[in-house]
Amino acid sequence: MSDVALRAVELTKRYGRLTALDSLNLDVPAGEVFGFLGPNGAGKSTTIRLFLGLARPTAGRAEVFGVGAADVARAHRQVAYVPADVALWPQLTGAEILHLQARTGPGIDGAYRDELVERFALDPSRPARTYSTGNRQKVALIAAFATRARLLVLDEPTSGLDPLMEREFRTAVRHARDRGQTVFLSSHQLAEVEAVCDRVGILRAGRLAEVSTIGALRALHRSEVTISYTGTAPELDSVPGVAAVHPAGERQLRFTLAGPPGPALRALAAAEVAALTVREPSLEEIFLDYYGTEGVR
Cα distance from N-terminal residue to C-terminal residue, the chain:
39
Q: Which residue has the higher pLDDT, 136 or 158?
A: 136
pLDDT of 295 > 70? The answer is no
Average pLDDT over residues 140-144: 95
Give the model's pLDDT for residue 98: 94
Give the model's pLDDT for residue 4: 94
Report which residue type is found at 183: V
Bridge partners of 207? 204
Instruction: Report CA-CA distances (Å) from 92 to 62, 99, 130, 146, 160.
Output: 35, 10, 10, 19, 21
CA distance 142 to 147: 8
pTM summary value: 0.82
pLDDT digits (tens, 9 = 90+) for 4-53: 999 999 999 999 999 999 999 999 999 999 999 887 788 999 999 999 99
CA distance 86 to 140: 7
pLDDT digits (tens, 9 = 90+) for 146-174: 999 999 999 989 887 888 899 999 999 99
10 Å CB burial of residue 152 (0-12, 13-18, 19+) is buried
Cβ proximity of 80 and 144 under 8 Å: yes
Which one, of 264, 269, 277, lies nearest residue 236 by Cα? 264
CA distance 220 to 7: 25
Consecutive H or E run containing 95: helix 94-104
Cβ proximity of 9 and 35 under 8 Å: no
Cβ proximity of 224 and 40 under 8 Å: no
Q: Which residue has the higher pLDDT, 286 or 131?
A: 131
- Cα 138 to the chain's mean position, in Å? 19
pLDDT digits (tens, 9 = 90+) for 261-283: 888 999 898 899 999 999 888 77
Give the model's pLDDT for residue 128: 94
Kindly give the pairing relationship between strand 252-257 and strand 59-64.
unpaired
Kindly give the pairing relationship between strand 182-187 and strand 207-213.
unpaired
Rg of the Cα trace of the chain? 23
Strand, helix or coil for residue 158: coil
Report which residue type is found at 255: F
